[in-house]
């Protein structure tokens, strides 16, 4: 590609926006994983499975509500709750009994959960590709700086920060959010002052999975909703959380931005090797700051 | 206490399982013809594996009415989960334990190549590959015991090259999934296009992770480079994503795009009205074209049995079953070597007309249908229209080329 | 903590098992010979992982990367060079250990979860390279038909080769386990701060353990190529690494022989349940959950606890 073309303001600008919108979905999903990691101190390997369930739920809900624009909005709002319920059931029936155990047992549990949820999705929804259509208002593209920018990506750019603000508000301004953050740092102390730590963990897990479901629902109009989505997202979420700082939600934001933007610009300058960019970015960041860019919660 | 109960239970279960498998090794009844199928029934490729199996089963219903050499054809399946090591394990299990006569499957090219070498060639069991598209399967890595009833990247590339050579475009951008399938299509298409039109120029390439959800950044970058036309080499996973991205960015209205299997109904149907129009695609099977009696009958039977129209994997599965049956009939006995000899050069009637299992490379001479997507009110989604047919002979590599690839 | 000192009873038992394994290929169908060979390879990679996880307490989440490096090295050397077989076979584990040293040096700076996540990141980079470098590694098509001399590539040949190498490796790992180095490593696992305080160079010990473990993983990779004759990027993928990790936990990561049992269970489950249903991952997940609840010290750990009184104290200490 003519390198001169790559440097036009228009190209750089539109790639920036595109990278940003990609980062928004990554942020929502990895913030969820980061939150769980911070409070429960275990990376939720089943996070991708819940993301996938979010996408499938959005598909089914949209179909249930008639498939049109209204259906989509309803599906988008309800799908994360469906996922949250699944998470709650898994947590209260099984996971919560393991909190006193060795850490690796929790990890093993999330792995087993991923296996089970993956097959359950296949049993319930089948192997065919599904597709959701974005509502009318969000279809097509607008011309930004001369390049077509899909309206749906614009929507993501607006929604992402709101989710971020909502999360910040939740963890800093609400009582339960503050308790969760405290439990992340020192669970014994929280237990000692009479708070039921188990319920705090339940809340954290469910909230994290809610976010995963939201991410899945948001991404569904852009991709084919199919089994195997869980494997796609989990590695990216892992890496983002690692470079952002374990348990730190702003770190998840920073990590997502790094991922989204390196990919968008990598595509512009060296489109042949786009697949290795995220990994190289991770290696660079971790060489410089092995514990992640921002402070980890613990 | 719980632990003891559990361990003993597990041990008994394990013991029973082991004993049952050794005492009842496999179905050793009135020795029917057994086909062992390894395919992917989990993950994003499952929709294709299932389709192929359905096509195969449909054909067997007819075939088993009359039987083959006084026997029925039965089959058993194994899920490889798109993993090569599991495919190897399962293929060996089918050959060594179930004693299948023929192996069939899979969609994963890596698995197909591995099984072709380690099981088909080593154990001398014929392996009919029905979805994997790597040209290496019947090309450089081909041998006596492997056959392909699906189209491969060399054929797709030639079809694309031939089709595009007739257009006035000179500056091309090539993009696709960053794995061997994507690269193979790109190389084959470019090789053929350049041979027919030495004036064409590749101004850039983009490769993304297979399954990449957000392809908008790639498209905007490509549009910025202003090519005359774009060649996309995407696999099943990214196909929906690229179609959605093309529609969302309105790419097809700005620059011509060719995508192999872009007109695959399995992808276009769920998209509905969201499928992009004006995209060029090649496929080796459409259930709506050609509207021959044979095709219509096949589609009708398939629809009645499985509730939806057949896709290209179903078509491949269907012809595989018929090829197996006809070859055994011609061979006159359930003997592997005679079966292979009978298969070579065998011609059968299929929903797409007469097809031949070429002797020099064990590849079926499938036609290629080149079309342009357009909205169809009848099907509620975009389908391929203005279809031009390229015959098998026009798209397959020549026997001379195959010999050269195999280093002979 | 020890599987059994060299008491006469244990030696006879081990000898008997080994003898049975030696004569098995003559009596069981060929497929079982093949599966046992696969189990041997998997058992070796699980044992090598347990050297750092069970004995060392490190969260080695991407051990498969080293296994894959060993396999790819020997595959590349056998297909692209005409060096003698033995050179290629030895190059595999050496390369794996070198990569282990490199990645290990990066990771030991950190502890616990950070260590694991960093390792996943770096290991995934290796996967991406193998996947992308099509001209060298065959990308996701993999490399097949790797020339292995027929005495060891036949079903029986591969079986015996894998069995012998496995037996030797287990003995070596056992010796390391019982050596002062091994004892130090376990002490570091249990209380790194105290060890630091008494002057043990914790990081260096961990790094050495990683290099040794990755060396054995490389050997397992070479065995894989002998048994299957192919390599492909799946070997380097994080899901496989997690599976090996699960094998150690399943078998009992505080025991010596636990990972072997874990490997047996996982491979058998995958193969034999897979014959009956395509939902075997669901069944695996359920069994794992049951195991977590009822047998947290792993199957072998549980067996030892029940049938070996001297180990009880060690197990109790471990499962806390």
Strands B257-260 and B353-356 come out as: unpaired
Total number of domains in chain A: 1
CA atoms of A167 and A251, how far apart (whole Å): 13
For an interface test with C, the pick among A105, A119, A227, A244 (most C C-beta atoms closer than 10 Å) comes out as A119
Asked whether the beta carbons of residue B83 and residue C234 sit closer than 8 angstroms, the reply is: yes
Provide the residue-wise pLDDT of chain C in tens; the chain has 320 residues: 344 455 777 788 888 888 888 888 888 888 999 999 999 999 999 999 999 988 888 889 999 999 999 999 999 999 988 889 899 999 999 999 999 999 999 888 877 777 888 888 888 889 988 888 888 888 888 899 888 888 888 888 999 999 999 999 999 999 998 999 999 988 888 888 888 888 888 889 999 999 999 999 999 999 999 999 999 999 999 889 989 988 998 888 888 888 999 999 999 988 888 888 888 889 989 988 988 888 877 788 777 777 765 545 555 555 55
Cβ neighbours, 10 Å, residue A169: 11
- The confidence score (pLDDT) of residue B363 equals 94
CB pairs under 8 A between A and C: 107
Q: B 243-272 residues with CB below 8 A of A?
A: 244-245, 247-251, 254, 266-267, 270-272
pLDDT for the residue A106: 86
Q: How many CB atoms lie within 10 A of CB C275?
A: 17
Averaged pLDDT, A70-76:
89
Q: Is the pLDDT of residue A132 over 70?
A: yes
Q: Looking at the domain assignment, is residue A108 inside a domain? A: yes
> Is C202 strand, coil or helix?
helix
Task: Determine contact, residues B156/B191, Cβ cutoff 8 Å.
Answer: no
List the single residue in A with minimal CA-CA distance to B250.
A140
Contact between chains at A271 and B204 (C-beta distance less than 8 A): yes
In this structure, the number of other CB atoms found within 10 A of the CB of residue C241 comes to 27
Does the distance separating the beta carbons of A127 and B47 come in below 8 Å?
yes
Please indicate, yes or no, if residue A295 is contained in any of the structural domains: no
Q: Give the CA distances from residue B207 to residues A268, B246, B270, in Å, rounded to whole numbers and listed in that order.
A: 11, 16, 25
If residue B72 lies in a helix (H) or strand (E), which one and from where to where? none
The 8-class DSSP code of residue C253 comes to T
**CB of A68 less than 8 A from some CB of B:** no
Kindly state whether residue A169 falls inside one of the protein's structural domains.
yes
What is the DSSP code string of chain A?
--HHHHTSHHHHHHHHHHHHHHHHHHHHHHHHHHHHHHHH-S--TTHHHHHHHHHHHHHHHHHHTTSSHHHHHHHHHHHHHHHHHHHHHHHHHTGGGGTTS-HHHHHHHHHHHHHHHHHHHHHHH-SS-B--PPPGGGSSEEEETTEEEEHHHHHHHHHHHHHHHHHHHHHHHSHHHHHHHHHHH-HHHHHHTT--HHHHHHHHHHHHHHHHHHHHHHHGGGS-B-TTHHHHHHHHHHHHHHHH-TT-HHHHHHHHHHHHHHHHHHHHH-GGGGGGHHHHHHHHHHHH-TT-SS----
- Residue C272 with chain B: CB contacts under 8 Å: 17-18, 21
Q: Which residue has the tokens 């929903």?
A: B351
E-strand stretches of B219-272? 229-233, 257-260
Answer whether B93 sits within 8 Å of C134, measured CB to CB. Answer: no
Return the closest-CA partner of residue A32 out of A223, A252, A232, A219. Answer: A252
Pick the CATH number of C8-319 from 1.10.700, 1.10.10, 1.25.40, 1.10.3470: 1.10.3470
Using the predicted structure, report yes or no on whether residue A222 has a pLDDT greater than 50. Answer: yes
- C125 and A276 within 8 Å at the Cβ level: the answer is yes
Residues B299 and A213: their CA atoms lie apart, in Å, by: 38
| Residues in B touching A152 (Cβ below 8 Å) | 248
In a domain, A113, yes or no: yes
Strand partners, B381: B376
* Domain assignment of residue A193, given as a range: 3-288
Structure confidence at residue B6 (pLDDT): 61
Count of CA atoms in the C-beta half-sphere (13 A) of C246: 25
Q: Across-strand partners of B353?
A: B350
Rounded Cα distance between B386 and B374, Å, is 9
- Cβ–Cβ below 8 Å for A127 and B248: no
Query: Mean pLDDT for each 10-residue chunk of chain B (408 residues)?
Result: 58 65 55 92 88 95 91 93 91 93 92 93 94 91 93 92 91 91 93 93 89 84 89 89 89 92 88 89 90 92 92 94 94 92 93 91 92 91 90 89 84
Is A298 within a domain? no
Structure tokens at A207: 């909230």
Find, among B58, B52, B185, the residue nearest to B130 by Cα.
B52
pLDDT at B366: 92
Nearest chain C CA: its distance from B69 CA (Å) = 28
The answer to whether the Cβ–Cβ distance between C282 and A102 falls below 8 Å is no
Q: Does B77 touch chain A (CB under 8 A)?
A: no
Give the CA distances from residue A53 to residues A124, A132, A160, C308, in Å, rounded to whole numbers and listed in that order: 10, 14, 20, 45
pLDDT in tens, A174-197: 888 888 888 888 878 888 888 888
- Please tell me if residue C132 touches chain A, with a CB cutoff of 8 Å: yes
- Per-residue pLDDT, C1: 39
CATH of the domain at A56: 1.10.3470
Whether residue A2 is predicted with pLDDT greater than 80 in this model: the reply is: no
Report yes or no on A82 lying in a domain.
yes
Chain A residue numbers touching C286 (CB-CB < 8 A): 112, 116
pLDDT (tens digit per residue) in A235-292: 889 889 988 888 888 899 999 999 888 888 877 777 777 777 778 888 888 888 877 8
Residue A11 and residue B221: Cβ atoms within 8 Å? yes
């Amino acid at each position: 590609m003519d390198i001169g073309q790559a440097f036009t303001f228009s190209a750089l600008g539109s790639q920036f926006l595109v990278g940003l919108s990609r980062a928004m979905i990554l942020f929502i999903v990895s913030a969820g994983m980061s939150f769980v990691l911070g409070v429960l101190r275990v990376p939720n390997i089943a996070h991708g499975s819940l993301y996938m369930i979010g996408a499938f739920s959005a598909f089914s809900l949209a179909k249930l509500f008639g498939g049109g624009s209204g259906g989509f909005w309803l599906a988008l709002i309800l799908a994360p709750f469906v996922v949250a319920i699944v998470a709650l059931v898994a947590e209260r029936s099984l996971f919560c009994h393991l909190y006193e155990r060795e850490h690796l047992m929790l990890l093993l549990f999330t792995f087993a959960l991923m296996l089970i949820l993956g097959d359950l999705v296949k049993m319930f929804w089948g192997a065919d590709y599904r597709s959701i259509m974005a509502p009318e208002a969000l279809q097509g593209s607008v011309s930004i700086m001369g390049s077509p920018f899909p309206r749906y990506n614009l929507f993501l750019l607006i929604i992402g920060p709101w989710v971020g603000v909502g999360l910040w508000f939740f963890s800093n301004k609400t009582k339960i959010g503050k308790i969760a953050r405290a439990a992340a740092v020192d669970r014994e102390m929280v237990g000692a002052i009479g708070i039921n730590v188990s319920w705090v963990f339940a809340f954290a897990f469910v909230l994290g999975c809610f976010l995963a479901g939201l991410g899945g629902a948001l991404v569904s109009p852009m991709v084919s909703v199919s089994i195997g989505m869980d494997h796609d997202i989990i590695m990216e979420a892992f890496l983002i959380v690692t470079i952002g700082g374990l348990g730190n939600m702003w770190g998840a934001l920073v990590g997502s931005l790094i991922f989204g933007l390196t990919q968008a610009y990598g595509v512009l300058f060296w489109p042949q090797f786009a697949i290795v960019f995220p990994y190289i970015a991770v290696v660079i960041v971790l060489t410089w700051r092995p514990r992640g860019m921002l402070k980890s919660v613990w | 206490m719980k632990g003891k109960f559990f361990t003993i239970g597990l041990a008994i279960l394990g013991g029973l399982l082991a004993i049952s498998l050794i005492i009842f090794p496999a179905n050793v009844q009135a020795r029917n013809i057994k086909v062992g199928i390894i395919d992917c029934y989990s993950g994003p490729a499952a929709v294709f594996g299932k389709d192929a199996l359905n096509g195969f089963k449909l054909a067997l219903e007819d075939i088993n009415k009359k039987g083959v050499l006084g026997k029925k054809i039965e089959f058993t399946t194994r899920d490889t989960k798109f993993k090569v090591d599991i495919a190897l394990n399962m293929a060996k299990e089918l050959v060594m334990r179930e004693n299948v006569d023929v192996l069939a499957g899979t969609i994963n090219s890596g698995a197909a190549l591995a099984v072709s070498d380690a099981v088909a060639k080593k154990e001398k069991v014929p392996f009919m590959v029905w979805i994997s598209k790597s040209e290496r399967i019947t090309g450089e890595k081909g041998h006596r015991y492997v056959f392909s009833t699906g189209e491969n990247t060399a054929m797709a590339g030639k079809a694309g090259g031939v089709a595009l050579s007739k257009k006035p475009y000179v500056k091309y951008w090539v993009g696709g999934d960053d794995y061997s399938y994507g690269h193979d299509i790109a190389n084959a298409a470019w090789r053929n296009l350049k041979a027919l039109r030495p004036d064409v120029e590749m101004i850039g390439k983009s490769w993304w992770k297979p399954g990449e959800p957000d392809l908008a950044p790639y498209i905007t970058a490509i549009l910025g480079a202003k090519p005359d036309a774009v060649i996309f080499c995407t696999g099943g996973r990214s196909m929906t994503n690229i179609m959605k991205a093309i529609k969302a960015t309105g790419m097809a209205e700005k620059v011509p795009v060719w995508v192999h299997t872009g007109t695959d109904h399995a992808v276009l149907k769920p998209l509905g009205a969201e499928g992009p129009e004006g995209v060029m695609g090649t496929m080796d099977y459409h259930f709506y074209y050609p509207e021959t009696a044979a095709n219509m009958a096949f589609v009708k039977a398939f629809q009645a049995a499985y509730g939806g129209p057949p896709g290209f994997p179903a078509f491949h599965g269907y012809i595989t079953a018929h090829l197996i049956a006809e070859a055994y009939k011609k061979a006159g006995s359930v003997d592997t070597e005679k079966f292979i000899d009978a298969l070579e050069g065998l011609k059968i009637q299929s929903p797409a007309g007469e097809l031949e299992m070429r002797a020099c490379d064990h590849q079926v001479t499938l036609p290629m249908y080149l079309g342009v997507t357009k909205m169809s009110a009848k099907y509620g989604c975009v389908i391929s229209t203005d279809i031009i047919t390229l015959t098998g002979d026009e798209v397959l590599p020549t026997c001379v080329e195959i010999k050269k690839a195999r280093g002979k | 903590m020890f599987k059994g000192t060299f008491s006469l009873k244990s030696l006879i038992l081990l000898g008997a098992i080994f003898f049975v394994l030696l004569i098995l290929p003559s009596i069981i169908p060929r497929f079982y010979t093949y599966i046992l060979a696969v189990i041997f390879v998997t058992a070796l990679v699980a044992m090598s992982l347990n050297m750092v996880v069970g004995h060392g307490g490190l969260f080695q989440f991407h051990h498969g990367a080293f296994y894959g490096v060993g396999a790819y090295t020997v595959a590349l050397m056998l297909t692209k060079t005409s060096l003698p077989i033995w050179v290629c076979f030895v190059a595999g584990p050496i390369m794996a250990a070198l990569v282990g040293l490199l990645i290990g040096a990066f990771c030991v700076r950190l502890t616990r979860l950070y260590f694991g996540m960093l390792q996943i990141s770096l290991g995934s980079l290796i996967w991406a390279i193998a996947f992308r470098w099509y001209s060298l590694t065959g990308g996701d098509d993999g490399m097949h038909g790797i020339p292995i001399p027929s005495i060891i590539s036949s079903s029986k040949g591969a079986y015996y080769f894998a069995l012998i190498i496995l037996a030797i490796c287990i003995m070596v790992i056992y010796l390391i386990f019982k050596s002062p180095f091994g004892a130090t490593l376990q002490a570091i696992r249990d209380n790194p701060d105290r060890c630091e305080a008494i002057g043990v160079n914790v990081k260096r010990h961990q790094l050495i353990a990683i290099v040794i473990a990755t060396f054995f993983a490389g050997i397992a990779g070479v065995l894989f190529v002998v048994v299957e004759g192919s390599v492909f990027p799946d070997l380097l993928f994080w899901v496989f690494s997690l599976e090996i990790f699960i094998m150690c936990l399943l078998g009992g990561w505080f025991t010596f022989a636990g990972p072997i049992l874990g490997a047996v269970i996982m491979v058998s489950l995958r193969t034999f349940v897979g014959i009956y249903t395509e939902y075997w991952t669901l069944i695996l997940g359920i069994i794992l959950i049951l195991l977590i609840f009822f047998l947290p010290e792993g199957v072998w750990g549980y067996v030892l606890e029940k049938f070996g009184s001297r180990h009880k104290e060690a197990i109790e200490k471990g499962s806390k």
